Amino acid sequence: MKKPIVILIIIILLLLAAGWYFSNITLYFIFSVVLAAILRPLTNRINSIHVFGQHVPRWISIFISYIVVGVIVFLIGALFVPLISAQIQVIATYDLDYIYEQIQNPVGKIEDFLFQYEIIQSEPGFLIKQVRENLVSSFSMLNVQGIINTILNTTSSILLGFMAISFITFFLLLENGLLRRNIMDLVPNSYFELAVATFNKVERLLSNYLVGLVIQLSCIFSLAAIGLTLMGIEYALTIAMFAAVANLIPYAGPILGATFGVIVGLSTGSFEGSNEIFFMIIKILSVFSVVQLTDNVVLQPLIFSKSVKAHPLEI
């Protein structure tokens, strides 16, 4: 085996070991690289604007890009505020006796079925008694102080990660190719042209792919929001946004989005009978079925075939 290849393998192994040892920093760096790839086209476009005969300074272009991302995140978060507020109000007004009365009839039917086929051998009423005890113990076990401490710890971790990613992303955008040039200096001369061409192509395809994901997310959000609104589902925009983001997760994402939509529909709607509940679930699932069919057959082939320069049949 040639010496340069052995050295390259050793360097890769050392980098993997360092990445595993400093896993948190490595994770921050990966997120920063992805975020920088998404923001680089916008930053370059802003940087190319002439103001009083001069280019907009690159550091100002980066801050403007950050502001754009911050506004988008704020608008997305604002969609969930009314839903969360409504659920908190519902939880705050829970009446254990009312909940007990609502579940007493279906639990009683289950108990009768178990007694009829001699599946259980206990005194009548044991099942509803067990359910009531579990409800009381569940609500009494809520540790408000523990919940507050968990929220504070989670918030501090998120804030630390946010600051680290923002810091790393800023300098990745500011150096504008310096890191890449430093990496290229380590490549032997015989592989230099191939490495440069490969690096540029990978970077361009990655950036195009991420932009394609953003376009796909926007299309799914629009389709789901329109469909749910036409069906008269409350919090249609919130459900659509969650579904669009969850759709980025392969296989499980569409199921998560539809499940979230059904749960929100059940928890926020007012129903007079089981037929209305069933009809509401059918409407939500129908909307998500159409959205997924459109995404798989139309959106993905068209969007990603253009972003990664591949034929739609390959996609």
pLDDT by residue (tens digit) across 79-115?
Answer: 777 777 766 666 556 555 655 565 666 666 676 666 6
Please indicate, yes or no, if residue 210 is contained in any of the structural domains: yes
The pLDDT assigned to 197 comes to 76
Q: 241 lies in which domain range?
A: 204-315
Please indicate, yes or no, if residue 291 is contained in any of the structural domains: yes
The pLDDT assigned to 262 comes to 84
pLDDT by residue (tens digit) across 207-221?
Answer: 778 778 888 888 898
The pLDDT assigned to 140 comes to 55
54 beta partners: 51
Quote the radius of gyration of the chain (alpha carbons, Å): 27
Please indicate, yes or no, if residue 70 is contained in any of the structural domains: no
The pLDDT assigned to 276 comes to 74
The pLDDT assigned to 142 comes to 52
Please indicate, yes or no, if residue 124 is contained in any of the structural domains: no
pLDDT by residue (tens digit) across 258-293?
Answer: 888 888 887 776 666 667 778 888 888 899 999 989
The pLDDT assigned to 127 comes to 65
The pLDDT assigned to 105 comes to 65
The pLDDT assigned to 228 comes to 87
- Contacts of 269-277 with C-beta under 8 Å, sequence gap 24+, read 269/234
The pLDDT assigned to 94 comes to 58
Please indicate, yes or no, if residue 244 is contained in any of the structural domains: yes
The pLDDT assigned to 35 comes to 84
Which of the residues in the chain have pLDDT under 70? Answer: 1-6, 8, 19, 86-109, 111-148, 176-188, 191-192, 269-274, 308, 310-312, 314-315
Count of domains in the chain?
Answer: 1
Residues 6+ apart with CB under 8 A from 107: 127, 128, 131
The pLDDT assigned to 273 comes to 65
Distance CA 284, CA 259 (A): 9
Distance CA 63, CA 268 (A): 39
The pLDDT assigned to 179 comes to 64
Please indicate, yes or no, if residue 257 is contained in any of the structural domains: yes
307, 212 in Cβ contact below 8 A? yes
The pLDDT assigned to 265 comes to 81
299, 220 in Cβ contact below 8 A? yes
Please indicate, yes or no, if residue 185 is contained in any of the structural domains: no
Please indicate, yes or no, if residue 279 is contained in any of the structural domains: yes
